[in-house]
Structure 1
Amino acid sequence: MTFDRRITPFRADLADEKLRGHVEAERFSTGTKKRVTASVASLHRHPSREAPVDTQAIRGESVTVYDEHEGWAWVQLHDDGYVGYLPGAALSEPGPEPTHRVGAIRTFIYPGPNLKLPNEGFLTLNTKLAVTGIEGEYARLAGGGYVFAAHLTDLDFAETDYVSIAERLEHTPYLWGGKSSVGLDCSGLAQTVLTAAGIKSPRDSDMQEKLLGAAVEVKPDLSGLRRGDLVFWKGHVGLMRDGASLIHATGHSMTVYVEPLAVAEKRIRETSYGPISSVKRLR
């Protein structure tokens, strides 16, 4: 059997108990459930801040911890299955189950229900929170802190137009591995907006291309596409804003950027990414 290292909790010395009989490892473990408490934490390929960042975890995400050593935790994220190393300080015991989700692009945590108090950090879109009560215009969080309640939605609320969320994220800086409103890469943008719309999405563009939606014919003149279609190249993805323009997180502008699809297609085709590989329609 072959396994994708990105989503397979396997090392030569340790593997998930579910892989017993499929891989050889010195020991197997069912792991321990924990929850991300940092606003955003980078998931590294190796236990080092200098190691490549494959993705990020955001507050409220559940993880399975298989190993902890010298301040690093080897984990699998529950939402998209990604495996890697998080700083141990970014995690805590699971605590109360989340009740709400951040629906704003970004919001702040305050020590009390007052906007004039010094904030204690930010929370990004899709952050999951356990709310224990409402005080005036603010939601009180389990574990402490307050968030402006109008910036929250019910946990199961789904946006009806995921492209509108991408539009709200326009000009967000490009960040390899990023999936917060502070920085996004191309597949991080797609996953983030689909998650906000209640659509489960894999993390990387090759996974998204394989698993999401139904194929749409790519015509030579690029006609026939519509808002919400996902356009894929080898290693890249963007969302159609309308029949002619694309919104994507791109290293070309180092931002979430809107441009004519024809312009993007020509430029990208002339790079190592090559021509459009497919278009997928979700709805």
Structure 2
Amino acid sequence: MRSKFLFLFFFLLSTAVSVAQPAKPVIDAIRKQYAPDARTAIFRVEADSTATLKGKTNLPDAKQALTTQLQQQGIRFQDQIEVLPAAVLGEQTYAVVNVSVANLRSQPRDAAELATQALLGMPLQIWDKERGWYLAQTPDQYIAWVDFGGIQRMTKAEYDRWQQADKIIFTRPFGFCYSESNEQSQTVSDLVAGDQLALEKEAKQFYQVRYPDGRTGYVLKKEAQRYDRWVASLHPNEETLVSTAKTMMGIPYLWGGTSVKGMDCSGFTKTVYLLNGITLPRDASQQVYTGDLIPTPNKDFSQLKPGDLLFFGETATSEKPERVVHVGMWIGNNEFIHASGKIRISSMTPGAPNFDEPERNRFLRAKRVLGKN
């Protein structure tokens, strides 16, 4: 009896594997084609033992390509793939960050890894919901989970009105919005560099502003600018990038951080460029594909200019591919500034007091972003 049971078990198991197996290479090929980077696209699709396609994607074209190829290959299947945005969201498939810095995590729970951060006023696309968490995509296409307290969800019409409203941008590293046009009044919230609020009125010393959720307050004019005027004033160059970077000296390292409350290495370079009107991808392994390659033969840095990005990591071998794990910014004088423990300046010159031998040893390449679109 036991042998018959084992035979039936293994027969069913082998049948399940054989049913799901033909679909797997097709799924993998579609994922590689349409969603090669899971940080910026959603294609979480698998075939189960009954040849049912299950999962979620925000790429309708990818789903269509998958089902078409399976049909062309004569592979039978049942389609249960959910195309996002999820129906549970209703019409509120957009959001705007509603706190000075929203923490976006790799999974929908407080204990999950911090993936990135988003600043007050930043627009988001919302794809899914799990309990009080929302799967959001930032303007640089990064996808992660944000809790309900960090955002104000909106319909497309509400979102468009927010986008079209006049704005101010906070330009000091840190400060506050006040409930009255008085620095001694109750604070509405803290603010960090890059935060944006809707402009209601402009007075002599204060901007009257509105939050995405409708709260109002007052921001000192000396600590902010009208967004349109700020954009018009931007002329990013070597000097402005270096000066912006140096205002962040000593800020502590925070894995996943992209704000003055704490930054990781790529969060730091991203923020420096953002405050100069240039958007970089989120991670070092993404930033390395931007800009133009600058020759550094035998670690000769003489052709580098301030603002160039330096990438560090592990070179490729016959057993494993290259790994880019760190990024910093060149500031001249054979030095670079980066987030390592804290925002600090290191030297590539042996014998210098701030010589960083480990980083020099794992230097991979340099890229120039300044002047690119």
- Please confirm whether the aligned pair reaches a TM-score higher than 0.5, indicating the same fold: yes
Q: CA deviation at 1:30?
A: 4.3
Aligned to 2:296: 218
Say whether the 8 Å CA contact 1:137–1:148 is kept in structure 2.
yes
Aligned residues between the structures: 274
| Alpha-carbon distance between aligned partners in 1 of 2:198 and 2:189, rounded to the nearest angstrom | 17
1:88 aligns to what? 148
Residue 226 (structure 2) pairs with residue 154 (structure 1): yes
Q: State how far apart, in whole Å, the 1-side matches of 2:306 and 2:362 are.
A: 20
Q: Which has the larger radius of gyration?
A: 2
Which TM-score applies when normalising by structure 2? 0.69
**2:311/2:365 contact within 8 Å kept:** yes
Tell me the equivalent position of 2:362.
275
1:73 aligns with one of 119, 134, 139 = 134
Asked whether the equivalents of residues 42 and 59 of structure 2 are also in contact (C-alpha less than 8 Å), the reply is no
For structure 1, the 5+ residue unaligned runs are none
Does residue 1:201 correspond to 2:256, yes or no?
no
RMSD, matched Cα: 2.1
Q: Deviations over 1:32-74 (max 9, x none)?
A: 1111102111111111111111111111111111222311111
Partner Cα separation in structure 1 for residue 309 and residue 222 of structure 2: 30
Query: 1:83 deviation in Å?
Result: 0.7
Q: What is the distance in 1 between the residues matched to 2:130 and 2:327?
A: 36
Q: What per-residue deviation string (whole Å, max 9, x for no partner) do you get for residues 147-182 of structure 1?
A: 112222333242531221111011111111101111
Distance 1:148 1:23 in 2: 54
Q: Is the 1:41–1:57 contact (alpha carbons within 8 Å) kept by the matching residues of 2? A: yes
Structure scoring higher RCO (CA < 8 A, sep ≥ 6) equals 1
**CA contact 1:249–1:257 (8 Å) conserved in 2:** yes
Quick one: which of 294, 314, 338 aligns to 1:248? 338
Alignment of 1:99-138 (within 5 A): 99-138=167-206
Q: Report the Cα offset of residue 114 of structure 1.
A: 0.7
Q: Secondary structure at the match of 1:145?
A: strand
**Whole-Å Cα distance in 2 between the matches of residues 172 and 265 of structure 1?**
19
Structure 2, unaligned runs of 5 or more: 1-29, 46-54, 68-79, 87-92, 314-324
Residues 1:27 and 2:87 aligned together: no
Which residue identity lines up with residue 64 of structure 2 in the other structure? G
Cα deviation for residue 22 of structure 1 reads 4.8
Structure richer in helix, relative to its length = 2
* One-letter amino acid matched to 1:116: Q
C-alpha contact (below 8 Å) 2:99/2:189 kept by paired residues: no
- CA change 1:46–1:69 in 2 (3 A) is same
Partner Cα separation in structure 2 for residue 14 and residue 259 of structure 1: 44
- Cα distance change, pair 115–23 in 1 and its aligned pair in 2 (3 A): farther
TM, length-normalised to structure 1? 0.89
